[in-house]
Amino acid sequence: MADFQPTFCLSLLSLLLLLPASKVNSQQLHGNISLGSSLAAGASQDYWLSPSGEFAFGFQQVAAGRGNTFLLSIWFNKIPQRTVVWSANRNELVPEGSTIKLTKDGNLILADPSGRLVWNPNSVGSGVSYGALLDTGNFVLAGRNSAVLWGSFDQPTDTILPMQTLVRGTELISKYSTSNYSTGRFKIEFQTDGNLVFYTTHYPQQGSNYAYYASSTFTADKVSYNQSGSLSITYTNGTILGNVFNSRESTKDFYQRVTIDSDGVVRQYVYPKRNNNNGTNMSRWPMEWTVSDFQPSNICTGIRGVIGNGACGLNSYCRMESGMFPRCDCPQGYVFKDPLDQSSGCVRNFAPQDCLVKEGSRDDGDQFDLVEMVNTDFPNGDYQILVSVSEDTCRGACLSDCLCDAALYRGGTCFKKRMPMSNGNVDLSNGGKTLFKVRRQNSTSTTKKKDHQPLLNATVGWFLLGSSIFVNIIFVLASCPWRKNPLNSKVGETLDQGGLSSNLRRFAYKEMEAATGGFKQVLGSGSSGTVYKGVINDHNSEKLVAIKVLDKVHVMEGHDVREFATEVTIIGETNHKNLTRLVGFCNEGQHRVLVYEFMSNGSLADYLFGGGGETRPNWYTRTQIAYSVARGLVYLHEECNTPIIHCDIKPQNILLDCSMTARISDFGLSKLMKANQTRTTTAIRGTKGYLAPEWFRNVPVTPKVDVHSFGIVLLELVCCRKNFMMEVEKEEEMVLVDWAYDCYSKGKLHKLVGDDKDAMEDLVRVERLVKVSIWCIQEDPSLRPSMKKVVHMLEGAVLVSEPPDPNSFMSAI
Ligand SMILES: *[C@@H]1O[C@H](CO)[C@@H](O)[C@H](O)[C@H]1NC(C)=O
Ligand SMILES: *[C@@H]1O[C@H](CO)[C@@H](O)[C@H](O)[C@H]1NC(C)=O
Ligand SMILES: *[C@@H]1O[C@H](CO)[C@@H](O)[C@H](O)[C@H]1NC(C)=O
Ligand SMILES: *[C@@H]1O[C@H](CO)[C@@H](O)[C@H](O)[C@H]1NC(C)=O
Ligand SMILES: *[C@@H]1O[C@H](CO)[C@@H](O)[C@H](O)[C@H]1NC(C)=O
Ligand SMILES: *[C@@H]1O[C@H](CO)[C@@H](O)[C@H](O)[C@H]1NC(C)=O
Ligand SMILES: *[C@@H]1O[C@H](CO)[C@@H](O)[C@H](O)[C@H]1NC(C)=O
Ligand SMILES: *[C@@H]1O[C@H](CO)[C@@H](O)[C@H](O)[C@H]1NC(C)=O
Ligand SMILES: *[C@@H]1O[C@H](CO)[C@@H](O)[C@H](O)[C@H]1NC(C)=O
Ligand SMILES: CC(=O)N[C@H]1CO[C@H](CO)[C@@H](O)[C@@H]1O
Ligand SMILES: CC(=O)N[C@H]1CO[C@H](CO)[C@@H](O)[C@@H]1O
């Protein structure tokens, strides 16, 4: 071991990769392994196969830098990835020439070329008469009567396979990283009390640290992965106490595994079996491992231990990317301890504030800036708490205290924190913001970035757009979180006085008049206002713009001028390819005007429904539009500084730019338009429109309302028709969402796309999009996926399971 350890260290730059098998001279033995057989690690790539050939046992070459090293392992042998499901020597890779031998006296021994014992299975009694790799992927040592004396299933690594059972006291430990097989930082423990628990470990030791998932199935006897793909916790007699996963994909048609990944998430993966399609049409599945389900749903917020590093390393923060994959990042001014290892934690990249005041060289607060991270929290690391203070006080308190590395300001409370801070995470549920102290002159980029978002700190909570036609629903908004967090008006003032350092331009009303030639060319109008085409001067060139003049009814008396400015700023802060950009605004007297980039190809409504049904717009373009809108919504919901619920997603609000990229418009207008009507549901009842049903119930409105509207737009994109159509031949086709579910559940999807040739040839995608949209329009908001998940499903990155009838929730009430 000592001989090649240095190679590992040098090799950190190159990833540890599985090398493709060379088929030359390979010994592929099916069936029983008789006593005295052995395999050698080397170029010949020998391995023992299970009778079906689906699993192999032998040495996998893993490239660690320059040296050739080998992992004694079991892998899926019929798929190109040759995914390892078990290994013997994960912490001590062996060099070429090492052997695995089933000795004459029945011992299984992994030895290096010098003959030194590297690994052998413990607890095998005597009396082994042969070994065998079974079709389940279990490598067993069996006695004379075929009784299994030891199996690799008894000593799992990080993966559970179908037909495998865990008994109490079994542990599985994750890999260190996706490319490094050695023991990592997370584990599954099926405890002696019957509880199945996921823990962080005291890495590099393997002791259990913080439990971030527990089945609470005390007294259970075993965990088993059954043939239909369920991972259940049961009594010996089979009575089920709990299910961890319930795959819809059967093991007949799919290879499956449940793995505790190096990021701590336990995922169930499926991979279609190519030659085994009976009933299920496998050609619609990507030929790769697809995540079918995972636990816990948010590991970033799920790990809160006082001791330990959290899901990421110390001083690092975690966020769920695409709703599925935890991602670790460093705060501004900090860098990864090990640049190649994102779970190594973060260290300061500047000199800390010096607490020793030397004569003539005070290292005080004005050398530092506070970088804001909204919705970010580092739950541990507090050393002082100030209550009922303003944010300015909080900032001052941290800047002037040389021990303070960061402060969390939330709801009038200031939590002063010092390094190291663990369990950092970004999540909307956190609220508040963490202010990170960063030295000023040392890092110019820090200051720049900060200037770029000077108004960020004024914005808290959700912004809702009280949409045009549905002003009557504003009533519901009274329960919205932003009400509880009145905006800081100071910022509005700054903006109003022209102290605006973002890219937003401020126009005089006269300029607006001139730009539109006296408001002549109307591009469209809705009940929130009228949009005119205009031309403005931009860096000495003319630029086409769309100028939205908000109706006076929506600009209520007493509506704070500053609020308008603040909200405009929030819209102005958004920056995404799939959103229309706000160029500037006018806020003068009674006039409230917004100036947007001009979108040359009109709205999606015109594009989809404008052709009079003669020729359908291109199928590919339509799918791209769906992806763009979904991405834009992910940004609004989860990625921009202030989360925004659009509330009025419909084809009229989706514009197409010159390259036919879809861009969402009219977002974030919530408080620009205040309505004074009370809620009347009669006008809306009976029609579904694009509105989510919860608008009509007295429940809080969440981003899931946009998911619902998106689902309908998606169906309209697939079918090229409006949700409601009176002039249809068959009555059941009148409401698209009902008809679509009907067609889907009866397996008649082709009816939805009619004579659309391109779509007919792409029915796999049609089915996926329809399934996603049915998920989106579920009556029960909690059943609807997040927009991130929607994007993943649209792209085929995750499975789209069978959606239930969207109306089943309603009828259950
Ligand atoms: C393996 O050996 C056992 C016991 O000798 C025997 O029952 C079984 O049929 C053998 N299997 C194969 C595939 O040879
Ligand atoms: C895997 O990671 C561990 C922990 O960082 C390290 O000690 C080991 O050298 C790595 N192995 C390889 C092959 O890079
Ligand atoms: C597997 O388990 C699930 C739930 O625990 C159960 O519904 C299913 O019937 C089981 N399948 C088999 C083949 O035992
Ligand atoms: C299974 O075993 C549990 C506990 O041992 C017992 O409570 C339960 O009644 C048994 N169920 C059946 C169907 O035998
Ligand atoms: C396909 O499935 C049917 C019923 O499930 C079964 O009778 C038939 O033998 C299967 N065919 C193959 C080739 O597996
Ligand atoms: C499976 O689906 C693909 C794409 O929809 C189709 O081309 C193929 O003919 C189908 N195969 C079977 C056996 O139904
Ligand atoms: C910050 O200062 C330290 C020491 O003065 C220096 O080593 C480092 O390179 C500086 N970092 C940046 C980003 O300028
Ligand atoms: C917001 O941040 C800016 C720039 O850092 C600062 O000038 C302003 O005082 C802050 N506003 C509040 C309310 O803290
Ligand atoms: C809003 O409604 C209230 C009660 O219906 C009414 O008294 C008030 O004048 C209205 N305000 C405006 C600006 O319409
Ligand atoms: C920034 C971003 O996500 N832009 C996306 C907008 O939509 C197009 C089309 O789907 C994507 O290709 C872009 O990535
Ligand atoms: C489909 C469509 O109308 N495409 C147009 C989008 O806009 C560009 C430039 O304005 C035109 O060239 C395309 O024909």
DSSP code per residue over 143-171:
ETTS-EEEEGGGS--SEE-TT-EEETTEE
- The contacts of residue 142 (CB under 8 Å, 6+ apart) are 128, 129, 130, 131, 132, 148, 149
Ligand closest to 494 (CA) is 8
Confidence label for 732 from pLDDT (cuts 50, 70 and 90)? confident
- Residues with a catalytic annotation lie at 648
DSSP secondary structure letter of residue 172: E
CB of 240 within 6 A of ligand 3: the answer is yes
Q: Which residue has the higher pLDDT, 40 or 477?
A: 40
Q: Does 325 have pLDDT greater than 70?
A: yes
What is the Cβ-side half-sphere exposure of residue 130, based on CA atoms within 13 angstroms? 10
Q: Which residue has the higher pLDDT, 495 or 154?
A: 154
pLDDT at 360: 57
Q: Which residue has the higher pLDDT, 457 or 397?
A: 397
107 and 212 assigned to the same domain: no
pLDDT at 249: 83
| 643: containing domain | 604-811
CB of 232 within 6 A of ligand 3: the answer is yes
Nearest CA to ligand 1 atom 4: 146
633 and 715 assigned to the same domain: yes
Structural domain contains residue 389: yes
Nearest CA to ligand 11 atom 12: 658
The order of strands in the sheet holding 541-550 is 505-506, 582-588, 591-597, 541-550, 529-538, 522-526
Structural domain contains residue 472: yes
Nearest CA to ligand 4 atom 1: 237
Ligand closest to 341 (CA) is 2
pLDDT at 668: 55
Domain edge (last residue) among 597, 623, 645: 597
Give the Å distances, CA to CA, from 709 to 291, 331, 472, 663, 706: 26, 35, 18, 15, 5
Task: Work out which ligand 10 atom sits closest to the CA atom of 635.
Answer: 3
Q: Does 225 have pLDDT greater than 60?
A: yes
661 and 803 assigned to the same domain: yes
Binding-site members for ATP are: 548
Q: Ligand 4: residues within 6 Å at CB? A: 235, 237, 239
783, burial (CB in 10 Å: exposed 0-12, middle 13-18, buried 19+): middle
Structural domain contains residue 520: yes
542 and 592 assigned to the same domain: yes
pLDDT at 540: 80
653 and 774 assigned to the same domain: yes
Helix (H, G, I), strand (E, B) or coil at 450: helix
CB of 681 within 6 A of ligand 3: the answer is no
Structural domain contains residue 146: no
250 and 205 assigned to the same domain: yes
Rounded distance, CA 334 to CA 337, Å? 9
Nearest CA to ligand 11 atom 7: 658
Give the residue among 627, 612, 702 at the shortest CA–CA distance from 661.
627
Rounded distance, CA 798 to CA 795, Å? 8
Annotate 632-677 with DSSP letters as a single string. Answer: HHHIIIIISSS-EE----SGGGEEE-TT--EEE-S-S-GGGS---P
Which residue among 146, 148, 149 has the greatest number of ligand 1 atoms within 8 angstroms of its CB, and so is best to mutate? 146
Total count of domains within the chain: 5
pLDDT at 492: 30
Average pLDDT over residues 747-755: 87
Q: Ligand 9: residues within 6 Å at CB? A: 556-557, 676
Instruction: Calculate how far, in angstroms, residue 438's C-alpha sits from the geometric centre of ligand 7.
Output: 12
Q: What is the pLDDT of residues 337-349, one digit of tens each?
A: 998 889 999 999 9
170 and 276 assigned to the same domain: yes
Which residue among 221, 232, 239, 241 has the greatest number of ligand 4 atoms within 8 angstroms of its CB, and so is best to mutate? 239
Structural domain contains residue 586: yes
Quote the mean pLDDT of the chain.
79
Structural domain contains residue 664: yes
537 and 469 assigned to the same domain: yes
Structural domain contains residue 665: yes
465 and 587 assigned to the same domain: yes
CB of 275 within 6 A of ligand 5: the answer is no
461 and 419 assigned to the same domain: no
Q: Does 111 have pLDDT greater than 90?
A: yes
Q: Which residue has the higher pLDDT, 384 or 690?
A: 384
Instruction: Calculate how far, in angstroms, residue 681's C-alpha sits from the geometric centre of ligand 9.
Output: 19
Domain CATH number, residue 469: 3.30.200.20
Strand partners, 175: 183
Domain CATH number, residue 235: 2.90.10.10
pLDDT at 686: 25
Q: What are the backbone dihedrals phi and psi of residue 446, each rounded to the nearest 5 degrees, phi first?
A: -60, -50
Instruction: Calculate how far, in angstroms, residue 601's C-alpha sits from the geometric centre of ligand 11.
Output: 6
418 and 477 assigned to the same domain: no
Confidence label for 327 from pLDDT (cuts 50, 70 and 90)? very high
Task: Work out which ligand 7 atom sits closest to the CA atom of 445.
Answer: 13
Rounded distance, CA 507 to CA 182, Å? 61
Structural domain contains residue 805: yes
Nearest CA to ligand 4 atom 3: 235
Q: Ligand 10: residues within 6 Å at CB? A: 576-578, 624, 627-628, 631, 661
Q: Does 469 have pLDDT greater than 80?
A: no
Instruction: Calculate how far, in angstroms, residue 628's C-alpha sits from the geometric centre of ligand 10.
Output: 5
Q: What is the pLDDT of residues 355-410, one digit of tens each?
A: 876 655 566 777 889 999 999 999 888 888 888 889 999 999 999 898 999 999 99
Q: Does 60 have pLDDT greater than 70?
A: yes
Domain edge (last residue) among 597, 630, 653: 597
428 and 532 assigned to the same domain: no
Quote the percentage of the chain above a pLDDT of 70.
78
Domain edge (last residue) among 262, 296, 330: 296
pLDDT at 702: 77
Nearest CA to ligand 5 atom 1: 278
Binding-site members are: 548
